[in-house]
Chain A
Amino acid sequence: MFEALSYPYERAQTYTDSNLPAVLSDQFYNPTQDNLALLFGALYGQSASIAKDEFERESNGFVTVGGLVGSQFLLQSATNAKASSASGAATGDHGIWLLQNDAGGALHDIIIYDSDNYVGTRRFIWAVRLQLTAGTKAALDTAANSGIVAGMGTLASNLPTFYGGSDQANWRISVNAATYDSGVALSDSTWYWLVVARQTNNDIKFWIKSGAGALTLVRTVSWGGNLTGCKRYLRCLGTAGSAAGHGLNIDMFTRGIER
């Protein structure tokens, strides 16, 4: 569940009828049982929990501060923020909400989040698919001021997050009071999958999928810290130069946590 580029997300082995490789216990039989058990445990048992929002609920107009975004997120913003469901523009856009500057001509501060999770020292995975609308990046506040933040909490929380701003070319990573350049460009109108997960050995791995590219590991940080106050958290903070329509589209925001 917590390793995005391994089984069960990717095949451990491809088995062919005519030239069958050995079906190994540590490659197929045991991981299959373990992964199935973890998924059943997360959905209907006790071993983990999963919460996901596909943003498939239609808004029928605009949601304002204090309203429900998607099915699970509170729109908790201070300034010039509104949200609404939107149509997908391309294959793979499955239930979209647009979070945007409301009035324009002044800064916007769009924040959505769900309930708290006490992750502790357990393994976890957080994943979000989002896209800045046209013209948004240049009007974001700086990265250090939380121009765009997506992950497990605020930038100040030191929880694992992706972040960026108008002063940075790339997505950046914040974790345990340290920051890193992901090496992946942050651009308007590009869909990004941002994924972070903690492994058994306490490695916290960060992956990014940019547009049609592959999901790619961009940073590994070892941290077995006790994580509290973890949310699915997203913030988009504009400057005085931001305009109506600036903001972002969101497609999915999910997380799984070992209990």
Chain B
Amino acid sequence: MNFFPQSRTHPARQPFSAAPRYIDGKGPSPVEFFDATQDNLGALYHAHLLTDWSGSTEDFERPIRYPSSAYIGDFRIVTNTDIAAGPGLSIASANAQEAGEHGVWSFLSGTDGWLFDMQTGPCYVGTSDFLVTCKVRVVSRARLSPVANGGLWIGCGAKADDYPAIVGGSDDPNWYLYAPMLASPWIETDIPFYDESSGIGVKGWYVLQISRVNGALRYFINGRLCPVNGKEGVIYDTDLPAVRRYLHSQAWNATVANDGFYVDYFHRLCRRG
């Protein structure tokens, strides 16, 4: 019996974690290990070289915005304004300040608030599995717009397209899940949303992940599964024509200089069939 259903898009199972652990003299379940190993390796090969999977990674290592100032790697800057209709956030490659920061870009303000969106192109995943992973931190949560307005919004699709997201804002100290398939789409997590001013941790980095496996959508924050109304995930087998890596942020009040956020990486993996 296999207690660990396989998927390449569940960030807490194989191949992202080695579970279960094996001991000499007691072999693994064949389905659990031999088939899974073949399938995991196959998915990775397909994502790079063939037909059945696709994947993209962005480690934000480019030191300049290329091919134009409208881009950061494969991300297009869709919106970047301030409350006075000025130029919005200043975007630049940032110095790494602690272990684990491997190519970081800063998105920092002047003294006005901002409205910002960046995204990659759409993937028509249909009802297939996918995983989106983003590592991000903010300078000050308290100066973001409220949760419902998307103070910081990391999604597997655009906000305007009403895709699932993990969201934080000034009006609540915890992260929220946005689950558009539910009548009450906002789910408060019990995970606090610290920022670099909180003194918790070093800089307040968060890894935010949205995963779909066989029609079940799950949210993860720093590797921890975030329950949806007390359940592990939520059924969401909707046909999705525009899964993408998407980041939105808003601070629609006057703020202080060098407010904003940082991004370290933003990846996605999608099954094609």
Contact = CB atoms under 8 A, between A and B. Distances in A.
Name the residue among B39, B121, B127, B270 with the largest chain A CB count within 10 angstroms. B121
Nearest to A85: B121
B120 A36 contact: no
Contact of B242 (A39, A87, A215): A87
A17 B29 contact: yes
A146 to B, nearest CB: 26
A39 B44 contact: yes
Contacts of A12: 38
Contacts of B73: 57, 71
B34 A15 contact: yes
A54 B47 CA distance: 10
Contacts of A87: 122, 124, 241-242
A152 interface: no
Contacts of A36: 41
Given A14-B35, A20-B30, A254-B48, A91 B121 contact: no
Nearest to A35: B41
A87 B161 CA distance: 13
B35 A57 contact: no
A127 B50 contact: yes
Contacts, number: 141
Given A4-B50, A88-B241, A32 B38 contact: yes
B99 interface: no
Interface residues of B, number: 47
Interface in A48-87: 50, 52, 54-58, 60, 67-68, 71, 85, 87
Contacts of A8: 38, 41-42, 44-45
B258 interface: no
Contact of A54 (B41, B54, B76, B273): B54
A88 B267 CA distance: 19
A9 B50 contact: yes
A171 B73 CA distance: 35
B51 interface: yes
B25 interface: no
A141 B91 CA distance: 46
Nearest to A255: B49
A58 B121 contact: yes
Contact of A256 (B31, B38, B49, B120): B49
A89 interface: yes
B39 A88 contact: no
Name the residue among B39, B45, B75, B273 with the largest chain A CB count within 10 angstroms. B45
Contacts of A58: 76, 119-121
A43 B71 CA distance: 24
A155 B156 CA distance: 41
A32 B35 CA distance: 11
A56 B121 contact: yes
Interface in B186-243: 239, 241-242
B56 to A, nearest CB: 5
A221 to B, nearest CB: 20
A114 to B, nearest CB: 14
Interface in A75-121: 85, 87-96
A17 B31 contact: yes
Contacts of B120: 56-58, 95
Contact of A32 (B41, B56, B126, B241): B41
B70 interface: yes
B272 interface: yes
B100 interface: no
Interface string B40-79: 0110111011111011100000000001001101111000
Interface of B: 1-2, 29-31, 34-35, 37-39, 41-42, 44-46, 48-52, 54-56, 67, 70-71, 73-76, 119-128, 239, 241-242, 244, 270, 272-273
Interface of A: 1, 4, 7-17, 20, 23, 28, 32, 35-36, 39, 42-43, 50, 52, 54-58, 60, 67-68, 71, 85, 87-96, 125, 127, 129, 193, 195, 209, 215, 252, 254-256
Across the A-B interface, the 7 shortest Cβ-Cβ residue pairs? A91-B126, A88-B124, A15-B30, A94-B123, A15-B34, A92-B272, A94-B54
Given A7-B42, A56-B56, 7 more contacts: A15-B31, A50-B48, A90-B126, A91-B273, A94-B272, A95-B123, A125-B49
22 contacts: A8-B41, A13-B34, A17-B2, A17-B30, A17-B31, A20-B30, A28-B38, A32-B41, A50-B48, A54-B56, A56-B56, A85-B121, A88-B123, A89-B124, A90-B124, A90-B126, A91-B272, A93-B124, A94-B123, A209-B51, A252-B54, A254-B48
